[in-house]
């Protein structure tokens, strides 16, 4: 019981940390380079597989998904892989609804090519480049 409470608190603390980072980056208080320099050591515990790191990643993923649903991207501003994965998932959901955006599609393809294994690209609607 105690370990479950500790895990829940760690996840909550990770989510809170991510929320603060998102606010500071959005407001321009610091850049993504400064955010990376100030990264919390708890994110590196247990090879990044701690409840704290999981909560932190979940919050970033939710922010990316929310931005995709809103039809915007802040990937270049944030520079966070969890945000990018959430954004890709959000765009996939929007594609399922028939949404296409001429300015967001190149960003979507670029992120899929960078973060997703090439054998999975067709499931994301991205074609292999033919030489």
Helix, strand, coil % in the chain, rounded to nearest 5: 75, 0, 25
Q: What is the mean pLDDT of the chain?
A: 87
What pLDDT is stored for residue 130 in this prediction? 61
Pair of tokens at residue 110: 């670029």
- The residue to which tokens 């790191």 are assigned: 53
Highest mean pLDDT among 54-58, 99-103, 125-129: 54-58
What pLDDT is stored for residue 64 in this prediction? 96
What pLDDT is stored for residue 116 in this prediction? 92
What pLDDT is stored for residue 107 in this prediction? 93
Pair of tokens at residue 38: 């100030």
pTM given for the model: 0.87
The helix (H) or strand (E) run that includes residue 50 is none
Q: For residue range 23-72, what is the model confidence (pLDDT) as tens digits? A: 988 888 888 787 777 777 767 777 768 888 889 899 999 999 999 999 89
First to last CA, the chain: 58
Rounded Cα distance between 62 and 75, Å, is 13
């Amino acid at each position: 019981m105690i370990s479950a409470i500790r895990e829940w608190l760690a996840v909550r603390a990770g989510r809170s940390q991510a929320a603060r980072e998102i606010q500071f980056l959005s407001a321009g208080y610091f850049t993504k380079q400064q955010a990376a320099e100030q990264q919390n050591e708890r994110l590196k515990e247990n090879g990044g597989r701690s409840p704290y790191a999981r909560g932190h990643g979940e919050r970033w993923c939710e922010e990316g998904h929310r931005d995709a649903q809103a039809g915007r991207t802040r990937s270049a501003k944030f520079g966070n892989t969890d945000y990018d994965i959430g954004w890709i998932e959000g765009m996939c959901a929007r594609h399922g609804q028939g949404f296409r955006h001429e300015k967001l599609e190149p960003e979507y393809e670029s992120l899929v090519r960078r973060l997703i294994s090439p054998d999975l690209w067709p499931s994301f609607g991205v074609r292999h480049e033919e030489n």
